[in-house]
Amino acid sequence: MQTAPPSGHLLAGPLTFLRRRLGRASCAAYVAAAALPAPGLWLSHAHTAALGAPMRAGVSIPQILLAAVLFAAGLRACPRGLTRMLRRPRVLVAGLALHLTTPLLIIPVVVLALRCSPDSDGGSGMVAAMILTLAMPVAAGATVWTGGGRGDEPAILGLVLASALVSPLTVPVTIGALAPLLSSEYAQSLAAAAHATGSGFALTGVLLPCAAGIGCRLLLPERAERTMLPLAALTAVLAALLLTYVNASGALGQFLMHPRPLLLLAAGGTAVVVCVLSFGWGRCCARALRLTTPAGMSVTLACGMSNSSAGAVLITTAMPDRPQILLPVLAFSLLQKLAANRVTRFRPAAAAG
């Protein structure tokens, strides 16, 4: 009697298909958000779940999706790879240092480029949005792009964790250093956003899901790995795409209803400049440090991919009356995914050479 193939083998085809088309799938998520934003808007709103008659708990779908991505990244992380990274932390230290210096180097260039912006505030709004975005920790979605042997997975997971761990200190410092480049109104709003950034986001939003995934991997029997690891990888990809759709749905509808072509052009240009410079900075430094191909890709992703979702939340909290400044954040979120897809498109065999 012929035995059925393991479920991990059955998932290999869909997983490979999605990984090879992550860039196009991300674009499709944006198109879906523009064409059919209603489900995404519903998912983005806070919901409540009953915990017995007298108790109700708030449920955030975006936070659940982000936690799913990070839990899957922790589950897929090889314990020996994490141990080796901690014993030789060169890639971790280099990637974290480059990620933290990225906004300090790029934002002044953006300020000079936006002096002739068609925006009524001279570009301060878009600069403020980019400051909040680049000051965020490394995007959790970066772990998705290194799957399937396309990068150093323990290194990028370590960079996500490390950047989140230090974010309560580094985010206010980065914002404080760059705030003088803005008008006084936006500088005050950024100061309020920096004050709102606390350890809660790093602990509950990033560290706990990753730690739970790593703990489950340590307890996972070896026979179950062939089933659970592909399932975790596929779940992470689908959750990341759904999170992209949800984040884009809330803002794209407003801008398409009241289009401002010049502002859209300035926002898109700002996002392109920031994306090119951040990924270019990471790639040049990785080559200068003579890192291996997988490690160099992880460092490049750490420089180019910031948690734009967290930045968007801070923007809407600190400046709820200025939804137009979310434009460069949305554009940057899409562009960093396309750039990550390009950076990680290489044959795994080539990395070993």
DSSP string, 101-122: HHHHHHHHHHHHHTTT-SSTTT
Q: How far apart are CA 214 and CA 73, in angstroms?
A: 8
Choice between 186 and 257, residue whose per-residue pLDDT is larger: 186
pLDDT bucket at 302, cuts 50 / 70 / 90: very high
Taking 80 as the threshold, does the pLDDT of residue 263 lie above it? no
Measure the CA–CA gap between 172 and 294, rounded to whole angstroms. 31
pLDDT of residue 2: 42
| Block residue for tokens 């809660």 | 200
CA distance 253 to 263: 16
Q: Tell me which of 107-111, 165-169, 253-257 is least confident.
A: 253-257
Percent of the chain at pLDDT above 70? Answer: 80
Q: For tokens 């730690």, what's the residue? A: 211
Q: What is the mean pLDDT of residues 206-229?
A: 84
Distances (CA, A) of 28 to 13, 36, 168, 203, 310: 20, 12, 34, 32, 22
Query: Which residues in 12-25 are b (16+ Cβ under 10 Å) and which e?
Result: beebeebbeebbeb
pLDDT at 59 > cutoff 70? no
The CA–CA distances, whole Å, from 139 to 19, 55, 164, 188, 303 equal 17, 34, 9, 26, 10
- Cα-flanking dihedrals φ and ψ of residue 47, to 5°? -125, 160
pTM comes to: 0.77
The separation between CA 192 and the C-alpha centre of its own chain, rounded to angstroms, equals: 23
- Calculate the alpha carbon distances from 5 to 31, 175, 194, 227 in Å: 36, 53, 52, 10
How many DSSP H helices and E strands does the chain contain? 18, 2
Q: Which of 127, 177, 174, 164 is nearest to 315 (CA)?
A: 127
Query: Does position 303 have pLDDT exceeding 90, yes or no?
Result: yes
Q: What are the tokens at 59?
A: 């449920």
pLDDT at 1 over 70: no
CB 167 within 8 A of CB 136: yes
